[in-house]
Amino acid sequence: MADDEGTEFKLQANSELRFEVEAKASVEIEMLDGRAEMFGTELAKNKKYSFVSGSKVAIFTWHGCTLQLKGKTEVAYISKETPMTVYVNTHAAMEQMRAKAEAENTRGPRILVVGPTDVGKSTLCRILVNYAVRLGRSPVFADIDVGQGNMGLPGTIGALVVERTADVEEGFQQTAPLVFHYGHKSANDNFQLYNMLVSRLAEIINVRCEQSKKVNCSGVIINTAGWIRGAGYEALKQAAGAFEVDVICVLDQERLYNQLKGDLPDFVKIVLLPKSGGVVERSQATRAESRDGRIREYFYGLKNNFFPHGFDVKFNDIKLFKVGAPSLPESCLPLGMKAQDSQTKLVPLLPSHNLLHHILSVSAATTVDQDIVETNVLGFIVVTGVDMDKSLFTVLSPSPRPLPRNILLVMDIQFMDIK
């Protein structure tokens, strides 16, 4: 749809350019004139930004600008109807709360963004965080969406203190996030563990906020998963309670809005916000692909600029665990005995061929005595080969040997390293 010289788009004030990059192609954007931003991050003039295949991008301008687009896009159009004014108002309200918190030396506002799948929750969170950072705040961005893994990898939840706006191409810089190992693609798989980890995340964030006044009054922005029915709804309520949120933004679902309004106490402000027209619904296949892409990005970098290391690890050097054991129903147990909380139990594992292609989290715990389930992880490795005769396995790791810790947690998620 665009040829080699590129197409020029002239945008008026309060409009945005939306485009999707075709599969196996890349697109380059350059801002020639005016001022524009992408999901809250300002674009620099005359700088070329490239987007990988499959990206869905919207570049918004408050004043008007000229953009040049080079490359193959599935769609590229300008839209004048965006909910950005609504989002900016939300940000302004939050900023007011922050100013008050700063003045009174109290805790900053905590906002939970909820909604069904594909409404733009992650984007809204990104915009809010970026705007806060541009005003000099240091908000904490927490992501409890286990499926997509924008923070860490799919199968983890995490939080990050943000001090710089997200990079246009690469997103938030994740050098020191707080990441907890969950191990499954969906919160449904181990509900108890999920709730436990969310509470733990909230707890640690509270401690962090206590340590720095700046972080404390900047507040927390929490992104959730799109699972909002049944047990997912319970998980939302628990997350709201664990983080002690002040505001809940419901995107585009009146039903959820009414439910939350009925169930949560009055001091929690619940608002319904519109979703953007540029939001694209993803199929299951696309979601799975984006998960895979996220894992690949972790190891190889967005533009294949990281070089992960492959080396051998002996079985004796490491300790393997997984969280969650199959539980016996209480009716099967002898009278008088109670079933323990097996869903959050730490189960040691023997290395075997079952581990092939699974992702392992490297726990920050140094000894087995610590509560490994509730300890954060430092990173991830993939098992690329298992040699039972020599008792070792080959792993792909982001940094050279040796591994920083020797306690590893096994995830349900697998990754095939195809070059």
Partner 1 sequence: MSFYDLVKDSVLSAQELFKYRLKRETSLPSRGGQKDFQPDGSWIQTKALEAFMQERTSILSEQRVEKLKNLIEGKWDINKRLVNVKKTGKFWTHMGFTDNLRNWLYPEEALFLMEANVLEVYYRDLPLSIQEAYFEFLGPDVSLEEYQVFSHLRRLGFVVLRHESHPVITPYERQINLDKYIKKSQRKERKGKALQKGRKIIQLNGNSQGNSKEPAISSEIINDAIFAQDNLIPAASESNGNVSNSLKKMDTEYNESNGVEESVSFQHPADSVERVNVQPENVSVNTFQKAEKRCTSTVDNKTEISPAKIPRIDNESISLEGNPENAVVSTCGGEFSKGSSENCNSFQSSTNSRFYHDLWADCLQVAAKIHSSSHSELEDTHALEVTAENTQQKQLTSNLETHRDNKASDSSNKVVEPTVPLPNIANRNAVWLVAPDSRLLPSSVELNEEEEESLMFDVEQYRLKYPLKPKNRQMEKEEEREARIASLNFSFAEWTQRRPLVTATNWKDYKQKLAERLREINATTPVDHYWEGDVTPLVRPSDADSYECILKKLSIIQTAEDESLVPEADCVVSVKISYDVHLPDSKFKKSMPGVPNHRVCVTKCNSQPPGLAEIQELWSRFKDDVPIHWAVVDSGEIAFYIFDNSYKSESWT
User: Segment 218-277, which members bind partner 1 (CB under 8 A)?
Assistant: 225-227, 229-230, 241, 244, 246-247, 252, 254, 257-258, 265-267, 269, 271-275, 277
Closest separation between CB of residue 71 and partner 1, Å?
25
Residue with tokens 């674009």: 43
120 is in an annotated binding site: yes
The packing angle between helices 231-243 and 254-263, to 10°, is 60
Structure tokens at 185: 């693609």
Our CB check for partner 1 shows the closer of 1 and 92 to be: 92
- How buried is 207 (Cβ within 10 angstroms: 0-12 exposed, 13-18 middle, 19+ buried)? exposed
Our CB check for partner 1 shows the closer of 7 and 186 to be: 186
Residue with tokens 């002690």: 244
DSSP 22: P
Closest separation between CB of residue 138 and partner 1, Å?
13
Q: Does 100 bind partner 1 (CB under 8 A)?
A: yes
In the three-class reduction of DSSP (H, G, I as helix; E, B as strand; rest coil), residue 195 is classed as helix
Judge contact between 214 and 138, C-beta under 8 A: yes
Judge contact between 311 and 399, C-beta under 8 A: no
Q: Does 414 bind partner 1 (CB under 8 A)?
A: yes
56 is in an annotated binding site: yes
Closest separation between CB of residue 155 and partner 1, Å?
10
Closest separation between CB of residue 361 and partner 1, Å?
11
One residue of 4, 5, 24, 335 binding partner 1 per CB under 8 A:
335
In the three-class reduction of DSSP (H, G, I as helix; E, B as strand; rest coil), residue 409 is classed as strand
User: Residue 41: which region, alpha, beta or left (left: phi > 0; alpha: psi -120 to 50)?
Assistant: beta
Q: Does 364 bind partner 1 (CB under 8 A)?
A: yes
Q: Does 294 bind partner 1 (CB under 8 A)?
A: no
Residue with tokens 């839209």: 79
122 is in an annotated binding site: yes
79 is in an annotated binding site: no
Closest separation between CB of residue 89 and partner 1, Å?
5
Stretch that binds partner 1, among 3-11, 16-24, 45-53, 181-189 (CB under 8 A): 181-189
Q: Does 78 bind partner 1 (CB under 8 A)?
A: no
Q: Does 93 bind partner 1 (CB under 8 A)?
A: yes
Q: How many residues bind partner 1 (CB under 8 A)?
A: 122
9-48 residues near partner 1, rule: CB under 8 A = 13-14, 35, 37, 42
Closest separation between CB of residue 25 and partner 1, Å?
20
Query: At a CB cut-off of 8 Å and minimum separation 6, what does 111 contact?
Result: 94, 128, 219, 220, 221, 222, 245, 246, 247, 248, 249
Closest separation between CB of residue 262 and partner 1, Å?
9
One residue of 8, 75, 388, 404 binding partner 1 per CB under 8 A:
404
Our CB check for partner 1 shows the closer of 71 and 147 to be: 147
108-127 residues near partner 1, rule: CB under 8 A = 117
User: Which residue spans within 214-325 are E strands per DSSP?
Assistant: 220-223, 247-251, 269-273, 309-314, 319-323
> Whole-angstrom Cα distance, residue 74 to residue 24?
11
> Whole-angstrom Cα distance, residue 81 to residue 79?
6
In the three-class reduction of DSSP (H, G, I as helix; E, B as strand; rest coil), residue 397 is classed as strand
Q: Does 70 bind partner 1 (CB under 8 A)?
A: no
142-161 residues near partner 1, rule: CB under 8 A = 146-147, 154
* Encoded amino acid at 104, one letter: E
Closest separation between CB of residue 410 and partner 1, Å?
8
Torsion of CA 108, 226, 272, 93, to 10 degrees: 20
> Whole-angstrom Cα distance, residue 243 to residue 144?
11
One residue of 18, 126, 181, 291 binding partner 1 per CB under 8 A:
291
> Whole-angstrom Cα distance, residue 414 to residue 240?
31
One residue of 173, 188, 343, 406 binding partner 1 per CB under 8 A:
188
Closest separation between CB of residue 106 and partner 1, Å?
4
Our CB check for partner 1 shows the closer of 52 and 288 to be: 288
One residue of 4, 24, 283, 389 binding partner 1 per CB under 8 A:
283
Q: Does 198 bind partner 1 (CB under 8 A)?
A: no
The packing angle between helices 84-104 and 121-134, to 10°, is 50
- Binding site residue list for ATP: 16, 56, 118-123
